[in-house]
């Protein structure tokens, strides 16, 4: 910090979310109007101070977004419309972009202006004095219309390195014209934390204390740079959810928020919002139709995953031994991974998490895991199979069904094309059931035949659906004789589980995974029914 003791007011950091504008510049990311509205309300509920909704002068969708938002405005956040300073040689009142910003009807506007001499002379093709006039005129025009103005000094850190006096003059001009915030932009994302802190300190000392930062992640330092800026006195931080943005992305607010609030003692969202962090990150990933980063800090599915036996043994005794925070603080969960690197503690903790009685059979299950992984199985993404191993070790285990025989025939018939037929024989309750069914492919036919055999005895299986099917060739150099690993994800309502099969025969591997998925469901059902009967008796 610039000064010694920090006041309570100085401990508040204003979060400025630009997911709906800068974040949408990410390659492959496209949001509909309804998507943008959903995200805006999620951000408002989470508690960010500012939501930048888009550039109304650039496209009709953004203008419609602001119109819709006015009908049902956010409860907490200030909505911001984004645009640029006036064009060269144009009066503010005649500039289409500035007029569009006024038409958006937002309380606040963000104006981006050049802070680098290179960009003024080579991109804008104007002189340095005219650029300062453009900044001053545009801000004064918006202040005249009662707007809160956020000035984004584009390429500020690179511009400061090339010509510090001119870069400072751009933000000084903005501040003098009435800008409520001057935001220093690391537009190319190549700055380092020490440099960010040094420049922020200089601006606060010589220009204004109302300093913000907007950094990009091209050096994978956007979060670190944002935190360094706050430590140097910046109290306005711009970023996006999950770090979405052009090239390598923007500063990731999902990481910035817990670092500021949990580690550094600043306030940026309501304390109750921190538990919503994981849900916010994953929900916006879903809306954006992008896969969540499973290894993302704080919110990734693997952020608190423990695999090594030594680590798990320590975590079992003291969770903080290998976790920097309690996962539940950010709405996440601990995950115990079982693999050939595991120890008995992995099995024991996973059994506890799953609510399965292991009955001292950890060593037995662990031996099975290590033996099967040596044959090509992998259980990190197939916890269902490990759970099934645990349940099969129980002294009262009884298989709900057993495979006697299985055959799948694929044929190419005239007029009907390629079809598959599966025939299965299962032993249930001391009897053998023989069924056959057709399907669009061999696995589909096998699934249909198994269900046909099982449903009369286990009608609840009709609620189970196959949600995903993944195939991995383990030794491609063996060509058609290669070993194949199949992972099947099954679902029933909100409940999901994955099982694995492995064989040189892809049909056999698929059958293993499929039958395990169905058996696990039935064993869980049996346990739930038994528990329900006990409650009735009690």
What pLDDT, on a 0 to 100 scale, did the predictor assign at position 220? 97
Listed in order, the ranges of the chain carrying CATH 3.20.20.70 are 10-269
pLDDT at residue 482 is higher than 90: no
Q: Do 33 and 68 meet the contact criterion of CB atoms below 8 Å apart? A: yes
| CA 503-506-507 angle, 5° bins | 110
What pLDDT, on a 0 to 100 scale, did the predictor assign at position 2? 35
- Note the pLDDT tens digit of each residue in 120-145: 999 999 999 999 999 999 999 999 99
pLDDT at residue 11 is higher than 70: yes
pLDDT at residue 378 is higher than 50: yes
What pLDDT, on a 0 to 100 scale, did the predictor assign at position 340? 64
Q: Do 217 and 246 meet the contact criterion of CB atoms below 8 Å apart? A: no
What pLDDT, on a 0 to 100 scale, did the predictor assign at position 416? 67
Give the start-end residues of each E strand in 178-274: 181-186, 211-215, 236-239
- The arithmetic mean of pLDDT across residues 273-296, rounded, is 94
pLDDT at residue 339 is higher than 70: no
For the ranges 118-127, 372-381, 426-435, which has the lowest average pLDDT? 372-381
Helix, strand or coil for residue 116? Answer: coil
Q: List Cβ neighbours of 248 (8 Å cut-off, separation of 6 or more).
A: 189, 216, 217, 218, 220
pLDDT at residue 5 is higher than 70: no
- Note the pLDDT tens digit of each residue in 182-232: 999 999 999 999 999 999 999 999 999 999 999 999 999 999 999 999 999
What pLDDT, on a 0 to 100 scale, did the predictor assign at position 9? 58
What pLDDT, on a 0 to 100 scale, did the predictor assign at position 377? 83
What pLDDT, on a 0 to 100 scale, did the predictor assign at position 480? 74
- Note the pLDDT tens digit of each residue in 63-82: 999 999 999 999 999 999 99
Which class does domain 402-537 fall in?
alpha beta
Rounded CA-CA distance 168/173 in Å is 8
Q: Do 487 and 470 meet the contact criterion of CB atoms below 8 Å apart? A: yes
- The arithmetic mean of pLDDT across residues 394-420, rounded, is 85
Which is higher by pLDDT, 516 or 381?
516
CATH 3.40.50.920 describes domain 10-269: no
The confidence band for 1, taking pLDDT boundaries of 50, 70 and 90, is: very low
What pLDDT, on a 0 to 100 scale, did the predictor assign at position 320? 85
Listed in order, the ranges of the chain carrying CATH 3.30.160.270 are 402-537
pLDDT at residue 3 is higher than 60: no
pLDDT at residue 389 is higher than 80: yes
Region for residue 119 given its phi and psi (left: phi exceeds 0; alpha: psi -120 to 50; beta: otherwise): alpha
pTM score, two decimals?
0.76
- The arithmetic mean of pLDDT across residues 474-501, rounded, is 87
Number of alpha carbons in the 13 Å side-chain half-sphere of residue 405: 8
DSSP 261: I
Beta pairing partners, 111? 83, 151
- Note the pLDDT tens digit of each residue in 35-62: 999 999 999 999 999 999 999 978 899 9
* Average pLDDT taken over every residue of the chain: 91
pLDDT at residue 354 is higher than 90: no
Token pair for 164? 């510090």
pLDDT at residue 343 is higher than 80: no
């Amino acid at each position: 910090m610039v000064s010694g003791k920090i006041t309570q007011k100085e401990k508040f950091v204003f979060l400025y979310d630009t997911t709906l504008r800068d974040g949408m510049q990410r390659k492959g990311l496209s949001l509909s109007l309804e998507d943008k509205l959903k995200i805006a309300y999620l951000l408002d509920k989470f508690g960010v101070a500012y939501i930048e909704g888009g550039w109304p002068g650039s496209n009709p969708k953004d203008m419609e977004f602001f119109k819709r938002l006015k009908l049902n405005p956010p409860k907490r956040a200030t909505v911001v419309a984004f645009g640029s300073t006036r064009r060269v040689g144009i009066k503010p009142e005649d500039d289409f972009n500035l007029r569009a910003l006024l038409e958006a009807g937002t309380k606040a506007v963000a104006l981006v202006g050049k802070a680098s001499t290179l960009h003024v002379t080579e991109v804008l093709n104007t002189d340095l004095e005219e650029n300062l006039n453009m900044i001053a005129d545009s801000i004064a025009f918006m202040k005249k219309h009662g707007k809160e103005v956020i000035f984004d000094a584009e390429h500020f850190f690179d511009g400061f390195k090339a010509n510090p006096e001119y870069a400072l003059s751009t933000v000084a001009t903005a501040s003098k014209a009435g800008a409520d915030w001057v935001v220093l932009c690391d537009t190319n994302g190549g700055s380092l934390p020490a440099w960010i802190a040094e420049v922020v300190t200089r601006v606060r000392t010589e220009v204004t204390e109302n300093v913000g930062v907007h950094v990009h992640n091209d050096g994978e330092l956007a979060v670190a740079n944002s935190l360094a800026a706050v430590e140097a006195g910046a109290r306005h931080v711009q970023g996006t959810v999950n770090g979405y943005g052009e090239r390598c992305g923007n500063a990731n607010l999902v990481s910035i928020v817990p670092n500021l609030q949990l580690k550094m003692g600043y306030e940026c969202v309501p304390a109750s919002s921190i538990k919503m962090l994981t849900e916010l990150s994953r929900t916006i990933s879903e809306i954006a139709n992008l896969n969540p980063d499973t290894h993302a800090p704080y919110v990734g599915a693997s952020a608190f995953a423990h695999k090594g036996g030594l680590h798990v043994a320590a975590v079992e005794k003291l969770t903080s031994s290998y976790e920097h925070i309690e996962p539940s603080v950010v709405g996440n969960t601990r995950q115990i991974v079982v693999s050939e690197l595991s120890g008995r503690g992995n099995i024991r903790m996973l059994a506890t998490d799953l609510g399965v009685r292991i009955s001292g059979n950890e060593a037995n299950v662990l031996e099975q895991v290590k033996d099967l992984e040596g044959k090509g199985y992998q259980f990190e993404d197939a916890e269902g199979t490990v759970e099934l191993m645990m349940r099969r070790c129980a002294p009262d285990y009884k298989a709900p069904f057993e495979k006697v025989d299985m055959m799948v025939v694929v044929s190419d018939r005239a007029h009907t094309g390629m079809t598959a037929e599966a025939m299965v024989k299962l032993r249930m309750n001391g009897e053998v059931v023989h069924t056959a069914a057709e399907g669009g492919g061999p696995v589909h036919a096998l699934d249909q035949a198994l269900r046909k055999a099982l449903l009369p005895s286990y009608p609840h299986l009709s609620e189970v659906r196959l949600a995903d099917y993944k195939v991995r060739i383990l030794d491609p150099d063996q060509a058609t004789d290669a070993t194949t690993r199949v992972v099947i994800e099954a679902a029933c309502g909100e409940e999901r589980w994955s099982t694995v099969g492995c064989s040189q025969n892809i049909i056999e591997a698929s059958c293993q995974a499929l039958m395990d998925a169905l058996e696990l469901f039935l064993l869980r059902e049996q346990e739930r029914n038994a528990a329900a009967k006990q409650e009735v008796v009690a």
